Structure 1
């Protein structure tokens, strides 16, 4: 052991920038990790955590994470600002019109059926649409991946699924803090340490549910943010407890924000059945009553009639033929999109026959609306410390993750140039690896 350690020390003295050799004989050290500059990666999503949710709540653990790492002022999700489309953009680096998960709901315009959010999570053909999520790409390049409750992880992609996964039950209690901690224990203690996974995605369903029920400005939402903050502290404590701090990067973000729904009795509701000249008899298939957006498939020959009836019919309803959608939304080219797309202004929801939505908070609005912007934090050995960066699109998170994992990305719409300023310069990373090796040598010599 003394001879091999001195030989390694000599090699490093001659070439400190050289890649670290394998240290199979060092007890307690995984040889693959020692032989590579790759660190592990944990991607965490707190559904519906708006960019400014930490401004009216004391969040000591988020603040500490900012001091130790990187904070973005906010990030911009893809449109449609719903859970499934936005999470699949995080996983693929593609805009919604390119990855094809265009809604939370799976639907079939021929059979006129649709499936709710939970059931849609298990429809392989809806998710497996030509874009590979990072789990599959990483596995094909020799890494071990896992996912706990993350949208999109229940299905197969080109016949392959994420190797280690836990899928939530239909009536899972997303607010249960005890379950949160059990899930964290599993990810950190079992998956990362015992099973030595390289990449894990971890999903929490709050503060989305509480934001819908009570509104983004409610005391209930503020209390849930405190729970999120405690959870972030617990995650970092567990990482340290299991000795992973120096070789695990953490990215924490969300799929979208949350906006207050205007419910004053003087508000002019958007109810399609009450619009003069519009009739559901002219519609073959519709997807409305799901918040501030909707899609319509008019019957053959009825497109222009329906479009003229709806266009300009309500001061807070925006109506587009899909080919006329603003290009910046990247929500026009996929064949799954229906011919007419409806988008309400912030604070409004779209109803069909009668009002069926009574949430105090909603998302799904234009992704340029500030209330739709999520938060972003990152910490770990590859991230700089105490760095505040400007906003960027979440489509750029995918190439960042591929870079951290040292894997070749699939075709995507993001670019590493938009996030690489968050990272420790390469020379500093090499110095850090050099120091780790020297510490190990010292340990073994002792």
Structure 2
């Protein structure tokens, strides 16, 4: 076989690899860790040596602004799609159907495929379609299929799961390390339900919350030790972040937001309601009652902000989705919405305007791709998806983030080149055509 024929054979052998998404250099691994409800300044009244070390050795944002609405499922899905909530459609922690009136709690909603698979493809599926294995450990949205495809490796917590068990936290970290080292997984999203649960129960200024932040910090230390133990330091990038912050609820205020006490308002005018879930609410008035209900509610309480869907602030990127009802509302920081009766008793809550500082959250990153000792200005969580795609070397889906926003965090030349895509395939086809022409002469 002559040299041109050999070159042609090699090109033909390489070409299929471009279509499968195999990276053109050694694949970097990525671990995204979310500690639910970790407010941006929780490390300022608690000693957090491991988070501090992570910041010194990597990148720290002054704070990160979550998406609105500042709830667990919507904000977590923004992180893995790079889309604002109105564009990915996971608009609430609860599944609801305005026709059947069905409303399901958070845990049940985690397993409802049609709530999550709403046209947007999260990063797990995008990475898998480009040749990588992925994993989701308790991460919201990671236990359903998208366009018929499931995450390679996944775990879902039970309905009575104890979010506070530190021993289990370490076991979960151990499992994730095995996924990286034994299963060939390139991307894992790992979720912890704290300090959110403790913040809800005891309040964000409580000693119990401070103790839980210490547990979070110990877990970050254990995680980084595990990365070193499994010899992943030079290949794994670690991002530690959260979905939203937390604020103290004014439970004993003299001006509680209580629908059952509003003059001239009656639930007899309402076809569908989604109230009593923190500071947010949705209503569908009965036919012909929209203007009447809106007129009653828009000035019913100085702490309550009520909008027709089309008038909701566009800057919040929330109301344009079809799942949003004709009337929607949110209350001021620290005030929750009570519907037919006053049933909300949490000492801490989130779901408020994402511009409120108490809703801001953390961002830390360390690993071979990240600069060391860098503190960056605040940014929106919608940009994290593009960063993760750069780290993995995959082509992102259409999204609302911008690839340049977080690129300054990265070392020069650190992120892998894209592993697939039309330009690369066309380049090889061009080479192939030249070789074919060469072999004819």
In the superposition, the TM-score normalised over structure 2's length comes to: 0.88
Write out the 4+ residue segments of structure 1 that deviate beyond 4 Å after TM superposition.
Answer: none
Shift of 1:365: 0.2
| Structure-2 separation of matches of 1:303 and 1:414 | 35
Provide the rounded CA distance (Å) in 2 between the counterparts of 1:171 and 1:50.
25
Residue 409 of structure 1 aligns to a residue whose secondary structure is coil
Q: How many residues align?
A: 396
Equivalent positions of 1:33-432 (< 5 A) are: 36-188=25-177, 190-264=178-252, 266-426=253-413
Other structure's SS at 1:249 match: strand
Residue 429 of structure 1, CA deviation = 7.0
The C-alpha deviation readout for 1:351-375, integer Å capped at 9, x for no partner, is 0011101100000000000000110
Structure 1 position 85, deviation (Å): 0.3
Contact kept? 1:71, 1:376, Cα under 8 Å:
yes
Equivalent in the alignment of 1:435: none
Can you list the C-alpha shifts for 1:99-129, whole angstroms capped at 9, x where unaligned? 0000000011111111110111111111001
Secondary structure of the structure 2 residue equivalent to 1:97: helix
Once superposed, what is the RMSD of the aligned Cα atoms? Answer: 1.3
> Is residue 128–residue 157 contact of structure 1 (8 Å, CA) maintained in 2?
yes
Q: Secondary structure of 1:54's partner?
A: coil
Q: Distance in 2 between matches of 1:185 and 1:267?
A: 49
CA distance in 1, matches of 2:85, 2:209: 28
In structure 1, C-alpha distance between the alignment counterparts of 2:82 and 2:351, rounded to whole Å: 19
Where does structure 1 lack aligned partners over 5 or more consecutive residues?
Answer: 1-20, 22-31, 431-446
Conserved in 2, the CA contact under 8 Å of 1:38 and 1:404? no
Q: CA deviation at 1:417?
A: 1.1
Shift of 1:323: 0.9
Could you tell me how far apart the structure 2 residues matched to 1:267 and 1:146 are? 48
Kept after mapping to 2: 8 A contact 1:105/1:115: yes
Residues in 2 aligned to 1:340 and 1:387: alpha-carbon distance in whole angstroms: 44
**Partner SS, residue 388 of structure 2:** helix
2:331 and 2:244 mapped to 1: Cα distance? 16
> Residues of 2 paired with 1:234 and 1:228: CA distance?
10
Q: Residue 416 of structure 1: CA displacement?
A: 1.4
Partners of 1:273 and 1:316 in 2: how far apart?
15
CA deviations 1:155-209 (Å, max 9, x no partner) are 1100001010111111100010000000000001x10011121000000000000
CA contact (8 A) 1:289 1:350 kept: yes
Distance in 1 (alpha carbons) for counterparts of 2:375 and 2:290? 48
Asked whether the equivalents of residues 297 and 338 of structure 1 are also in contact (C-alpha less than 8 Å), the reply is yes
| Alpha-carbon distance between aligned partners in 2 of 1:341 and 1:205, rounded to the nearest angstrom | 28
- Structure 2 gap ranges (5+): 1-13, 15-21, 417-441
Report the Cα offset of residue 37 of structure 1: 4.4
Contact 2:134 2:186 in 1 (8 A): yes
Distance 1:56 1:127 in 2: 37
Distance 2:156 2:319 in 1: 31
Deviation at 1:263, TM superposition (A): 2.1
Is the CA contact (8 Å cut-off) linking 2:391 and 2:415 kept in structure 1? no
How far did residue 332 of structure 1 move? 1.4
**How much has 1:97 moved relative to structure 2?**
0.3
- Provide the C-alpha distance between the structure 2 equivalents of 1:110 and 1:429, rounded to a whole number of angstroms: 47
